[in-house]
Amino acid sequence: EFISEIKGISKLEESITNRLGIKKTIIIPSQLQSDTDFVNDMAKAAGRYFLSEIKGHKTIGITGGTTMYSFANCLPQSKKQSEVTIVPARGGLGEEVEIQANNIAAMISKKLNGNYSLLHVPDNIDKSIIESIISLPQVKSTVEAIDNIDMLIFGIGNAEDMAKRRKTSFEEFELIKKKGAVSEAFGHYFNIEGEQVHETSTIGIKLDKYKELKDIIGIAGGKRKAEAILSIARINSNLVLVTDESAAQYLLKLT
């Protein structure tokens, strides 16, 4: 029974990879487990894949969120030193401190014995203020590091859920909905076609940078995120998706 379960999962992985037209899919079987268990299982699988691919990478961008927090938490502690630098892919201090990208970058770099560079910039600030903050030396070096990332590991959110979590104003929330946003990733909102329809005003990875990345690992599961996953998959086909069976089953229906 175990073998047929594995065969089923690898078939599903293959179907999702083909339907979404992405590089690779890793699926965690949905057992009767709690939400936190499946997130941890995805995080562990993503960690194993990440460690197998890390060689040759110098600057790795990461995002915040509960899934990425679990990723950092589940990553095994390395005994060796690493030259790698971990950077938050964007600012955004609007969330609980544990799940902010800064904290997660520090956690991951400690697990790898590497370096990190932090970005202390809040979300939703005026464009003119962003300009002046970018010129501050500590911010400038991190912004340059973000421009130089050669790998990104990120969470994917359901657009409405993320807008609510980010305490978006009523007007902005309505606008995001009106523009047909289904997903949110690294502060950008996308429609089902993977076109950007909105961007949180803060400092962080630019969409053009994301589009040219060769190594990207997106971690997101649960049926509620299926549409969001589909939309993100359409932006850059180099995506390696780590998800769970329930999202995958729903993705089959959508594609």
Q: How far is the CB of 8 from ligand BG6 (least distance, A)?
A: 26
Task: Out of 47, 61, 114, 157, point to the residue binding ligand BG6 (CB under 6 A).
Answer: 157
- Number of residues lying near ligand BG6 (CB under 6 A): 13
Nearest residue (CB) to ligand BG6, 112 versus 216: 216
Q: Does 156 bind ligand BG6 (CB under 6 A)?
A: yes
Angle between helical axes of 35-53 and 66-74 (0-180°, round to 10): 60
Question: From CA 103, how far away is CA 112, in angstroms rounded?
Answer: 14
Q: Is 123 in the site for ligand BG6 (CB under 6 A)?
A: no
CA distance 19 to 254: 10
Nearer to ligand BG6, 133 or 152 (CB): 152
Q: Is 109 in the site for ligand BG6 (CB under 6 A)?
A: no
Nearer residue to ligand BG6 within complex by CB, 83 or 161: 161
Q: Tokens for 232?
A: 């993100």
Collect all residues with Cβ–Cβ distance below 8 Å to 127 and sequence separation of at least 6.
Answer: 201
Which region, judged by CB under 6 A, interacts with ligand BG6, from 9-17, 52-60, 155-163, 169-177?
155-163
Q: What sections of 89-241 are H helices per DSSP?
A: 101-112, 127-134, 137-147, 159-165, 170-178, 207-212, 226-233
Cβ at position 93, least distance to ligand BG6 in Å: 11
Residues contacting residue 91 through CB under 8 Å, at least 6 positions apart: 101, 119, 120, 121, 122, 123, 202, 203, 204
In the complex, the smallest distance separating the C-beta of residue 39 from ligand BG6, rounded to whole angstroms, is 8
User: C-beta of 12: minimal distance to ligand BG6 in Å?
Assistant: 22
Burial of 29 (0-12, 13-18, 19+ CB in 10 A): middle
Instruction: State which of positions 55-74 bind ligand BG6 (CB under 6 A).
Output: 63-67
Q: Kindly provide the residue ranges of all beta strands, DSSP E only, lying in the chain, ordered along the sequence.
A: 24-28, 59-62, 85-88, 115-116, 151-155, 157-158, 183-185, 188-190, 196-199, 216-219, 239-244
- Identify which of residues 40 and 66 has a Cβ nearer to ligand BG6 in the complex: 66
**Shortest Cβ 5–ligand BG6 spacing (Å):** 26
Contacts (CB under 6 A) with ligand BG6, residues 169-188: 184-186
139, 162, 176, 181: residue in contact with ligand BG6 (rule CB under 6 A): 162
Residues in touch with ligand BG6 (CB under 6 A): 63-67, 154-157, 162, 184-186
